[in-house]
Amino acid sequence: MSQRKISFSSGEFYHIYNRGNSKQIIFHDVNDYDRFMRLLFVANGSVISRNLSTRAKEIFEIDRRKPLVAIGAYCLMPNHFHILLTEIELGGISKFMQKLTTGYSMYYNNKYKRTGALFEGKFKSEHVSDDNYLKYLFSYIHLNPLKLIQTDWKEIGLKDMVKAREYLTAYKYSSHNDFLTVRPEGAILMTSLFPQYFQEKREFENEISEWIQYKKDII
pLDDT, tens digit, 9 for 90 and up, residues 62-94:
888 899 999 999 999 999 999 999 999 999 999
- Is the pLDDT at 152 greater than 80? The verdict is yes
Q: What is the mean pLDDT of residues 132-158?
A: 94
What's the CA gap between 179 and 107, in Å, rounded? Answer: 29
Stated pTM of the model:
0.92
pLDDT in tens, 95-135: 999 999 999 999 999 999 999 999 999 999 999 999 999 99
pLDDT-derived band at 147, boundaries 50, 70, 90: very high
Residues in the chain: 219
Burial class of residue 72, CB neighbours in 10 A (0-12, 13-18, 19+):
buried
Geometric angle at alpha carbon 10, from 4 and 11, rounded to 5°? 120
Q: Does domain 13-217 have CATH number 3.40.50.720?
A: no
pLDDT score, position 64: 86
Which of 1-10, 99-108, 208-217 is most confident? 99-108
